[in-house]
Amino acid sequence: MESDHESQTPLDGLKAIEKPLFLVGTIKSGSTLLAQCLGEHPLIHYAGFELSAEWSQLGGAPMAVAGNQDAYCPRLVASDVTDAVRTKIHTEFARLQAQSGREVFLNKNPHLSNKLPYLRELFPDASLIVTARDLRSTVQSIKVHWERMHREFGLERFLPPERDACWTCSPPLPAGRSDPERTFPGGDIRVLAEYWLWTYETLEADLAGFERVVPIRYRDFMAAPHEVLAKTLQALDIAWQEVEFAETIDQNRSSQWRDVLTPEDNEKLADWISLHRDRIERLQTADTALPS
């Protein structure tokens, strides 16, 4: 496959986007709030919520989210980028950028976290922002989120046993079609911890080659949002400008796990953390703090 496709990608007269930003991490890691705040900057276009439909329909990247028809969210690599995929994604993103009138394209999508080789092949000059929330508060937030998604949309989520997997999504599965311990709501809390660990291990294995990688810890952002935004923009070589925050910053979010997780949940998590502590402590982009 040729390395330089810019001149071969028809954009219907649109200006190709340059040095786009992609915000990745686990779900419920604070990525939406950070993307909204960055999108208040006059130079940055926060393109939609996640563009999951565009990634699926144009990019050949199924994403199992509410609103899509995809049941699976598979890992993708560079060889999954065809000329047709490249043309469709570059053209659509250029169209979105042109409509915004802004200079910097930002797409927040945690489901790209196991697709970074594919993403880098599409956008060799892209930079990554990696959001990270500590394990316990991530686990409680996902638990509550999957319960809400089931309550509102009747959806179940299943995490396949492969270490580079992302969540599947379906109506309630027939008996025998999935492992109940890996199916939510109602699954084993340790599976949510596995997802957290696997996501950052997979992501960190694929970081080489990106223009810039800027890790952001959720608790740091909650504690000092203006300071973190300023440092993020500086790391991305974007001029600082004061922005309005998209919603009220709730500094208590990261401690809510104490009220949500049951004593049994906490006991299982403590044992799991003890078993995997070495792997957790090796992570560079995750928030490896383990508040008790």
Task: Give dist(CA 116, CA 128) in Å, integer.
Answer: 10
Q: What is the pLDDT of residue 110?
A: 97
The predicted structure's pLDDT at residue 292: 63
Burial class of residue 101 (count of CB atoms within 10 Å of its CB; 0-12, 13-18, 19+): exposed
Predicted confidence at residue 141, as pLDDT, reads 94
pLDDT digits (tens, 9 = 90+) for 148-158: 999 998 989 99
Q: What is the DSSP letter of 286?
A: S
Condensed to tens digits (0 to 9), the pLDDT of residues 223-282 reads 899 899 999 999 999 988 777 665 555 655 555 556 789 999 999 999 999 999 999 999
Q: What percent of the chain has pLDDT over 90?
A: 74
Q: Which range among 27-41, 71-85, 173-187 shows the weakest confidence by mean pLDDT?
A: 173-187
Domains of the chain: 6-282 (3.40.50.300)
Stated pTM of the model: 0.91
Region label for 67, one of left (φ > 0), alpha (ψ between -120 and 50) or beta (otherwise): left
**What is the distance between the alpha carbons of residues 45 and 6, in angstroms, rounded to a whole number?**
21
Q: Is-contact 199 114, C-beta < 8 A? A: yes
Q: Looking up tokens 């950052």, which residue turns up?
A: 200
User: What number is the average pLDDT over the span 126-145?
Assistant: 96
Band of the pLDDT at 6, cuts 50, 70, 90? very low
